[in-house]
Amino acid sequence: MTATLRDLGEFELIRAITARFARGRDVLVGPGDDAAVLAAPDARVVVTTDLLLEGRHFRRDWSSGLDVGHKAAAQNLADVAAMGARPTGLFVGFAAPGDLTVDWALALADGLAAECARAGATVAGGDISSADSIMLGVTALGDLEGRAPVLRSGARPGDVVVLAGSLGRAEAGLALLTAGLGQGADAGWAGLVTAHRRPRPPYPLGPALAAAGAHAMCDVSDGLVQDLGHIAAASGMRIDLDLAGLTALAGGAPLRSAAAELGADPLDWVLTGGEDHALVACLPPSAAIPGGCERIGLVLPGTGVTLAGQPTAGRGGWNHFR
Ligand SMILES: Nc1ncnc2c1ncn2[C@@H]1O[C@H](COP(=O)(O)OP(=O)(O)O)[C@@H](O)[C@H]1O
Ligand SMILES: Cc1ncc(C[n+]2csc(CCOP(=O)(O)OP(=O)(O)O)c2C)c(N)n1
Ligand SMILES: [Mg+2]
Ligand SMILES: [Mg+2]
Ligand SMILES: [Mg+2]
């Protein structure tokens, strides 16, 4: 076969790869969700892993070692929370060039430790190698504490889609850095750049949404429309986003002024921007919406993600090969 990864795209590649793995009898939730759940020793432990590569996920001239440590931990701990689990431990594979300063490597460790502390977890192991550029492979574990895992596949018609955390801010910060306007940015723009460098997922709201009865949940790593698209597809449902609510999210002063400066659309950042690692969940209409969450849409029969009933085609999200 001469097709390339770019031809296939990230998510078709994942489908093709995982189709080759047997579903072991200990695997209660396998590839396809934010984290896996294994039956042995019991069904309380969720496991997830993510890569973070220099040049692809961060740049050393844009982010400090401390920033990258925060981001590497947050990206994984958010997947744990998105299952409704409490983060417990992180395992960190770290490869770097020999001329990296010790200060940078130790700042990275400090960032990992600080972000773990935010989530109530800790680094429990890892591995080190040398490499031409910095690479991190982080694995996170979490405890469901007796709750059922909240999958991407459980959304039902009538569920209310709720958001915990921010959207579009990390993408705006990345756009500012890319345009050369990020360093030394003042006022609100600095907050956007910080959102790119150190996303702040609302970890406790993962278990809180699970306890509130969430039918489905995920974190937003690649963009709201794309990630909700995974829930819609896995659940066999349509998700309709509320235009007024999302326009309000895009209307914050820093997002608006950064978008005006860059000739961008702040609503695009909110709909397609990745890496804020907000949590989005589908709650039954009777459920009490936990504090800190806001309603942004509705689950309906059908397919795909719509905005006020209109198709979102063309508003994609991050895909590693496209
Ligand atoms: N190389 C791989 N082998 C097996 N499973 C994979 C691989 N890459 C991704 N997956 C699985 O595919 C699903 C989607 O991955 P991804 O989009 O990275 O999720 P997330 O955005 O939550 O990190 C996850 O369940 C993940 O475990
Ligand atoms: C230097 C740089 N360029 C581009 C980006 C934007 N970016 C890189 S990966 C990504 C999506 C999230 O990362 P991914 O590895 O897909 O995490 P996952 O979905 O597996 O959680 C985004 C928006 C960035 N963070 N840094
Ligand atoms: Mg995820
Ligand atoms: Mg991943
Ligand atoms: Mg991704």
Residue type, 38: L
Yes or no: say if 264 and 256 are a contact pair by the CB < 8 Å rule. Answer: no
Q: What are the pLDDT tens digits along the chain (322 aa)?
A: 689 999 999 999 999 999 888 887 888 999 999 999 988 778 999 999 999 999 999 999 999 999 999 999 999 999 999 999 999 999 999 999 999 999 999 999 999 999 999 999 999 999 999 999 999 999 999 999 999 999 999 999 999 999 999 999 999 999 999 999 987 777 789 999 999 999 999 999 999 999 999 999 999 999 999 999 999 999 999 999 999 999 999 999 999 999 999 999 999 999 999 999 999 999 999 999 999 999 999 999 999 999 999 999 888 899 999 8
Domains: count for the chain: 2
Q: What's the gap in Å between 14 CA and the centre of ligand 1?
A: 7
Residue 152 lies in a domain: no
Instruction: Say yes or no: 167 and 58 in one domain.
Output: no
Judged on CB neighbours under 10 Å (0-12, 13-18, 19+), 91 is middle
The CATH number linked to 221 is 3.90.650.10
Residue 293 lies in a domain: yes
Atom 18 in ligand 1: residue holding the nearest Cα = 50
Instruction: Say yes or no: 9 and 99 in one domain.
Output: yes
32 lines ligand 1 (CB under 6 A): yes
The C-alpha atoms of residue 64 and residue 197 are separated, in whole angstroms, by 8
For the CA of 82, the closest atom of ligand 1 is 22
Asked which of 82, 110, 143 is the last residue of a domain, the reply is 143
Residue 297 lies in a domain: yes
221 lines ligand 1 (CB under 6 A): yes
Instruction: Say yes or no: 223 and 114 in one domain.
Output: no
Q: Which ligand is closest in space to the CA of residue 219?
A: 3
Q: What's the gap in Å between 34 CA and the centre of ligand 1?
A: 7
Asked which of 110, 143, 176 is the last residue of a domain, the reply is 143
pLDDT at 313: 86
Task: Give the long-range contacts of residues 108-111, CB within 8 A, separation 24 or more.
Answer: 108/65, 108/66, 108/68, 108/69, 108/72, 109/69, 110/65, 110/66, 110/69, 111/65, 111/66, 111/67, 111/68, 111/69, 111/70, 111/71, 111/72, 111/73, 111/198
Instruction: Say yes or no: 73 and 209 in one domain.
Output: no
Instruction: Say yes or no: 106 and 225 in one domain.
Output: no
318 is in an annotated binding site: yes
pLDDT at 39: 85
235 lines ligand 1 (CB under 6 A): no
pLDDT at 184: 74
Helix-helix angle 102-119:65-81, to 10 degrees: 30
The boundaries of the domain holding residue 14 are: 5-143
Q: How far is CA 306 from the centre of its chain?
A: 20
This model of the complex carries an ipTM of 0.97
pLDDT at 1: 63
Using a CB cutoff of 5 Å, list residues around ligand 3, an ion: 34, 79, 219, 221
The C-alpha atoms of residue 148 and residue 157 are separated, in whole angstroms, by 20
pLDDT at 266: 97
Instruction: Say yes or no: 257 and 135 in one domain.
Output: no
Instruction: Say yes or no: 124 and 218 in one domain.
Output: no
227 lines ligand 1 (CB under 6 A): no
118 is in an annotated binding site: no
pLDDT at 70: 98
Residue 107 lies in a domain: yes
Residue 44 lies in a domain: yes
70 is in an annotated binding site: no
